[in-house]
Amino acid sequence: MHMPKDFTIQRQQLVDLLQQNGISDERVLQAIAAVPREMFIDSSFQPMAYANQALPLVLGQTISQPLMVAIMTQALQLSGREKVLEIGTGSGYQTFILARLCQHVYSVERYPQLSDQADARLDQLGCANVSLLIGDGSIGWVDHAPYDRILVTAAAPHVPAQLLEQLDMDGFLVVPVGDQAQQELQVIQRTHSGMQIHSLGRCVFVPLIGEDAWR
């Protein structure tokens, strides 16, 4: 009988690595420690499930490097009460981490195959506070707006205007902005006096394809 591999030690080593790299939000660290990343990747890559690197998915997409997931999630400053819009469901790994840290996640994915696979994984893990939509992430999901937080997990040539419109006052939007080779990870807070933007440094993501992004 083939026994499933136990990743407990690797998962803890990853959490230690994240702490060494400046991740201090205890709730984020606990969520990453609790989520089985091996369930969100192709079986051939499972031995690398807790390596600190992005891994390939189908359709040329990727599951983000764990450190980048932690940086982006920490930047959202989640307390547990928020309604979060995620652009780019992908494997569902980031989605599940968000779901453990907020009230409800609305996640948009342009590829039906990825969305369906993520839905099955989240269902298997008993994740009930996520709603999925197959569609154009660059225009958001207006039906449930406004959102307290918006997380974009693909590279945009500029900040999509409709995402800013769907962000609630005092909310945070985290998005990689730049060309298709390299981007800057921006955290944008919507305030009464306008948008406050600060950078979390350079990053590389797959392109955001859509009406208000890359064609």
DSSP characters for 45-113? GGGGTTSSS-EE-GGG-EEPPHHHHHHHHHHT---S--EEEEE--TTSHHHHHHHHHSSEEEEEES-HH
pLDDT over 70 (residue 189):
yes
Q: Give domain status of residue 15, yes or no.
A: yes
> What is the number of domains present in the chain?
1
For the CA atoms of 178, 208, 95, 203, the dihedral, rounded to the nearest 10 degrees, stands at -20
Q: Give domain status of residue 215, yes or no.
A: no
pTM score over 0.85: yes
Q: Give domain status of residue 25, yes or no.
A: yes
Q: Give domain status of residue 94, yes or no.
A: yes
| Angle of helix 8-20 versus helix 26-34 axis, rounded to 10 | 160
* Cβ contact 170:155 at 8 Å: no
Structural domain harbouring 163: 8-203
Residues annotated as catalytic (active site), given as ranges: 64
Q: Give domain status of residue 134, yes or no.
A: yes
Q: Give domain status of residue 158, yes or no.
A: yes
Residues 12-61: pLDDT tens digits? 999 999 999 999 999 999 999 999 999 999 999 999 999 999 999 999 99
Q: Give domain status of residue 34, yes or no.
A: yes
pLDDT over 70 (residue 2):
no
pLDDT at site 4: 53
Q: Give domain status of residue 214, yes or no.
A: no
